[in-house]
Amino acid sequence: MSGTLFTYRRKVDFGDCDSARIYFTPRAVDYAVEAVEAWYGDVLGVSWPDLLQGHDLDVTFVRMGCEYFRPVIADQTVYVRVRATAVDRSSVTFSAAGEDDSGGVFFRATLVAQFSAGRNRAPVPIPPRYRERIEACLEQADGEPGTVAQRICGEPFPSRVQSDGVPFTVRRRVAYGDCTLSGTVYAPRLLNYAVEAAGEWYRETLGISWREQCILQRGAPFREVWCERLAPLVPGQVITMAVGIPRLGKSSIGYEVAGYDDRGEPCFHAEMSACYISEETGSFKVIPFPDDMRSRILAYQALCDQSIIPATAS
Q: Could you tell me the CATH number of the domain that includes residue 121?
A: 3.10.129.10
Residue 243 lies in a domain: yes
Task: Return the C-alpha torsion angle 289, 290, 291, 296, nearest 10.
Answer: -70
Would you say 258 and 241 are in contact if contact means Cβ atoms under 8 Å apart? yes
Same domain, 170 and 141: no
Say yes or no: 38 and 146 in one domain: yes
Domain identity same for 12 and 38? yes
Task: Confirm whether 1 is domain-assigned.
Answer: no
Residue 106 counted as domain residue: yes
- The continuous run of DSSP H or E covering 190 comes out as helix 188-206
- Residue 202 in domain: yes
- Which of 108, 128, 153 is the endpoint of a domain? 153
**Chain centroid to CA 242:** 17
What type of residue sits at position 256? Answer: E
Structural domain that includes position 119:
6-153
**Angstrom distance (rounded) from CA 297 to CA 283:** 26
Taking only the tens of pLDDT, the chain with its 314 residues reads 334 678 998 888 877 887 677 888 888 988 998 899 888 888 888 887 788 777 788 888 888 999 999 988 888 889 999 999 999 999 999 999 999 989 999 999 999 999 888 666 788 999 999 999 898 888 543 444 433 344 445 544 556 555 456 789 999 888 877 887 777 888 888 988 998 899 889 989 998 888 888 888 888 888 899 999 999 898 888 999 999 999 999 999 999 999 999 899 999 999 999 999 998 777 788 999 999 999 999 999 999 888 654 444 33
Whether residue 183 lies inside any domain: the answer is: yes
Same domain, 243 and 296: yes
Residues 181 and 147 placed together within one structural domain of the fold: no
Determine the Cα angle at 240 with ends 28 and 199, to 5°. 55
Residue that terminates a domain, selected from 121, 137, 153: 153
3-state helix, strand, coil in the chain (%, to 5): 25, 35, 40
Q: Are residues 166 and 145 in the same domain?
A: no
Together in a domain, 146 and 176 = no
Cα distances (Å, whole numbers) of residue 174 to 157, 178, 252: 10, 7, 30
Q: How many domains does the chain have?
A: 2
314 is a domain residue: no
Q: Are residues 116 and 20 in the same domain?
A: yes
